[in-house]
Amino acid sequence: MSEVFVIGGGLSGSEAAYQAAELGASVTIYEMRPGKMTEAHKTGLLGELVCSNSLRSDSPESAHGLIKQELEAAGSLIMAAARATSVPAGGCLAVDRNLFAEFITAKIRTHPNIKIVYDEVASLSSFDTKSAVILATGPLTSLTLAEELQKMLGGQSLYFYDAISPIIDAESIDYEKAFFASRYGKGTGDDYLNCPMSAEEYDLFYNSLVNADKVTVRNFEDEKVFEGCMPIEVMAGRGKDTLRFGPLKPVGLIDPRTTLKPYAVIQLRAENIEKTSYNLVGCQTRLKYTEQSHVFRLVPGLEKAEFLRYGSIHRNTYIDSPRHLNKDLTLKSMPHIYIAGQITGVEGYLESTAMGLLAGIYAARKLRGLDETLPSRYTACGSLIEHITGSIAARPSTFQPSNINFGLLPPLSVPVRDKAKKRQAVAARALADWETFVAASNR
């Protein structure tokens, strides 16, 4: 059997290991947890989600809906886990985070071609250059390995700061003030729990938020925050109404107590199937813990909120991919090493999974002596590859992570004015090309 070594047991690493094993490769996956934990992880399970439990929109007309279809068509382990452990979330796909990680861990542990080694890999030099090494350590790569990678690439790693939202105990919520509903009536009707605010209540919340003490990010002078996971206090600092037109928008919601649209609303999404805990949607924060308790308890219905996890901020590392990566995700200087997941400069659970899926396929096929097969630029996964390695990516000096979005995919040859029809056409084109890729990859 061909040997593939996967370093990191997150979404990308787990997907890479599974895909390579499914293609017949003998896979060893290294995970340093639980022996050595990161600043954000809580367990030693593979595929643990450290931020939101949402995998974004499930609509086939959205970019995230499209990439989900591509992943599922390729037999994605992560998507199988998500479908099996989903919780109500309106038009989004959200999961019970514990069941989700347990599903992934069980599939990896029982796969006949995969061995798990719970130990930290501190150096890449010990691996045979005739093997395939997939580095999928994610944005929280250990300091030792990050420093070696930095030396190997001859420059500094890039980074941005990422924030996570608080999680509260469901029993501490005042259900006399909160109500169940999804924006625009999507989902089953009770997928989200809403805490409505009047103008006066919003003013009190907003003023307390912008004046609250924040955690100082130590050791880093240049504080770069990824736009897709902006701390709520940073958004609030852009203007008083920014939140009301962003994560706290009340559009499509009616408060049953008043029969009126709230002035603003904080939505809570269930963290598990039993709905014993809730995540404060869009409330990722770097406020000090005492300040979080004060500020969020100003929200109607959360006056007695018990925090199971406070929000926090951590550094996410990614490499200068336009300069260092080939389109098959191998390092230009060391073609036996593949880089997968968020460390490549993609942002988001699905995007990281996609890079792992491709790296696993590429590595297994190369070791079997098969021809290289790459996804079309017109697919969602192919457009992400192009973003991190191709000409559309920003110059290396200004390269920034990106979620999947329709702006990354090439325009239609014949323009379509209707937005919905245009997205449908782009998605249909992508799926047709993706089907060709999957068939060529022996999937």
Adjacency order of strands within the sheet including 92-95: 54-57, 92-95, 86-87
- DSSP calls for 32-84: -TTTS--SS--SS-TT---S-SEEEE--TTSHHHHHHHHHHHTT-HHHHHHHH
Round to whole Å and give the CA distance between 23 and 3: 12
Question: Per the annotation, does 8 bind a ligand?
Answer: yes
Euclidean distance between CA atoms 342 and 354, whole angstroms: 10
Bridge partners for 29 per DSSP? 6, 116
Chain CA centroid to CA 69, Å = 16
Is position 75 annotated in a ligand binding site?
A: no
C-alpha to C-alpha distances, 16 to 72, 108, 346, 429, nearest whole angstrom: 14, 11, 16, 26
11 among annotated binding-site residues: yes
Proportion of the chain in helix, strand, coil states, percent, rounded to 5: 35, 20, 45
Residue pair 138/353 in contact (Cβ under 8 Å)? The answer is no
Known binder of ligand: residue 10? yes
Q: What angle do CA 176, 179, 184 make, to 5 degrees?
A: 165
Q: Which residues are documented as binding site for FAD?
A: 8-13
Q: Which residues are documented as binding site?
A: 8-13
